Amino acid sequence: MLSPTMENALNQQMALEGYASFLYLSMASWCDREGLRGCAAFLYRQSEEERSHMLRIFNYINEVDGHALVPAISQPPHEFESVRSLFEQVYTHEKKVTASIHELITLSYKDNDHTTLNFLQWYVNEQREEEALMRNILDRIKLIGEGPMSLYYIDKELEKINKSQIAAEASEEEKA
């Protein structure tokens, strides 16, 4: 049974994951418009992933007899200064999500809520992987540089990263 504080905090976390999904969708749209197909494909997939993170919490809350509330999601920005600044914003948002997951963990210790503590471990691992991935992308963008010629190579890199993410997910699903 969730404490009211935990139920509310998990519902808040859903809003954060939902916002990430909308933010990355908006970023994908901007990339599409800029002709950056590799970046767009990567972000469309990330957006879907965030939606699945939101639904995982949604299902958990109801499974443990709470009430999952569909969150109101604010409109994300539509314009971005550059590809580098866009991915810096992704990384910043991921760090915010990580901090929020860690707060939920602290709360589950306070509540002596082992079930939620166990449920949250998946998110701890996921956030470690997502932060590492975004740092890796930012490192590559810095190495390639950001002139008009560089955008083509950045986009190719993102296309490669996206394909390897899809392959890794497929192999995980096979194992499951």
- The amino acid sitting at 165 is Q
Asked if residue 28 binds ligand FEO (CB under 6 A), the reply is no
Q: Given the complex with ligand FEO, which of 112 and 125 has the nearer CB atom?
A: 125
CA dihedral 65, 98, 108, 48 (to 10 degrees): 10
> What x/- string results for residues 84 through 123 when contact with ligand FEO is judged by CB under 6 A?
----------x--x--------------------------
Look up residue 72 and give its DSSP letter.
Answer: P
**In the range 133-172, which residues lie near ligand FEO by CB under 6 A?**
none
The residue with its CB nearest to ligand FEO is 53
Q: Given the complex with ligand FEO, which of 116 and 144 has the nearer CB atom?
A: 116
Q: How many residues bind ligand FEO (CB under 6 A)?
A: 7
> What x/- string results for residues 43 through 62 when contact with ligand FEO is judged by CB under 6 A?
-------x--x---------
Q: Given the complex with ligand FEO, which of 130 and 155 has the nearer CB atom?
A: 130
Note the helical H segments in 34-147. Answer: 37-63, 83-110, 114-144
Under 8 Å CB-to-CB from 37, ≥6 apart: which residues? 31, 155, 159
* Smallest gap from residue 114 Cβ to ligand FEO (A): 23
Of residues 7, 130, 155, 157, which one binds ligand FEO by CB under 6 A? 130
Distance CA(174)–CA(176), nearest Å, equals 6
Task: State whether residue 157 is helix, strand or coil.
Answer: helix
Task: State whether residue 111 is helix, strand or coil.
Answer: coil
- Contact between 58 and 111 under an 8 Å Cβ cutoff? The reply is no
* Residue numbers at the binding site for ligand FEO (CB under 6 A): 17, 20, 50, 53, 94, 97, 130
